[in-house]
Amino acid sequence: MRLFIDTANVEEIRKAHELGVISGITTNPSLIAKEGRDFFEVVKEIISIVGDLPISAEVVSLEAKEMVEQGKKLSKLGSSVVIKLPMTAEGLKATSEFKKLGIPTNVTLIFSAPQALLAARAGATYVSPFIGRLDDINQVGINLIKEIRQIFVAGNIDSQIISASVRHTTHVIEAASAGADIATIPYKLIESMIHHPLTDAGIERFLKDWEGAKQATF
């Protein structure tokens, strides 16, 4: 399973990219709004940092025709831009239009397997089931990833599953076992995946022993 970073903060993207662990970026209108910057400028800066890694940028219309217009403008920023569309009838129409144009898409706000199947059949490159928001309403979000993987295998569907709305490290590992192609995760989650108290204690011990033995310096 690959990892995408779920943020519009360029500093977080820069730091995650330097670690060499991310294979793409997802943003959404809330994340963009949080930055208080021009949307197009943010996407351009992200491209300058990550090169050709896929960057999901979301349209903000409820109407297919307008979604396609907005998506085409975003797509002009670079071939790595993936147009993110809501899981609605209009979003599906726009998805199939982008499929014809050869522009990659990410259908977002997926909360059921039938929605994922429709998005895939409309030609979505990626489908984004939101597991954390399902947990929030007392459903088991990770079960949706398992179900979508099953129907994609059975139907020989090649849309990629992005496990989204990922809240903690257990979600990441469960998403990988459930068959997600990708988990998109906030920067703070990457940080918490790095750290383990026994790693910190181990480093301290190794360095203390090294000092004590008065080894030659490098």
Q: What's the CA gap between 199 and 57, in Å, rounded?
A: 37
Q: What are phi and psi of 147, to 5 degrees?
A: -65, -45
Question: Catalytic: 73?
Answer: no
Q: What are phi and psi of 160, to 5 degrees?
A: -90, 140
Binding mask 17-36 for ligand E4P (x = CB under 6 A): ---------x-x--------
Among 93, 132, 135, 147, the residue binding ligand E4P under the rule CB under 6 A is: 132
Q: Is 184 in the site for ligand E4P (CB under 6 A)?
A: yes
Q: What are phi and psi of 70, to 5 degrees?
A: -65, -45
Annotated catalytic residue: which of 34, 84, 93, 208? Answer: 84
No. of helices (H) and no. of strands (E), the chain? 11, 8
Binding mask 64-103 for ligand E4P (x = CB under 6 A): ----------------------------------------
Q: Is 161 in the site for ligand E4P (CB under 6 A)?
A: no
Buried b / exposed e along 97-106 (16+ C-beta atoms within 10 A): bbeeeebbbb
Question: What Rg do the C-alpha atoms of the chain give, in angstroms?
Answer: 20
Query: Please, what is the minimum distance in Å from the beta carbon of residue 212 to ligand E4P?
Result: 46
Among 3, 5, 6, 104, the residue binding ligand E4P under the rule CB under 6 A is: 6
Residues that bind ligand E4P (CB under 6 A): 6, 26, 28, 108, 128, 130, 132-133, 164-165, 184
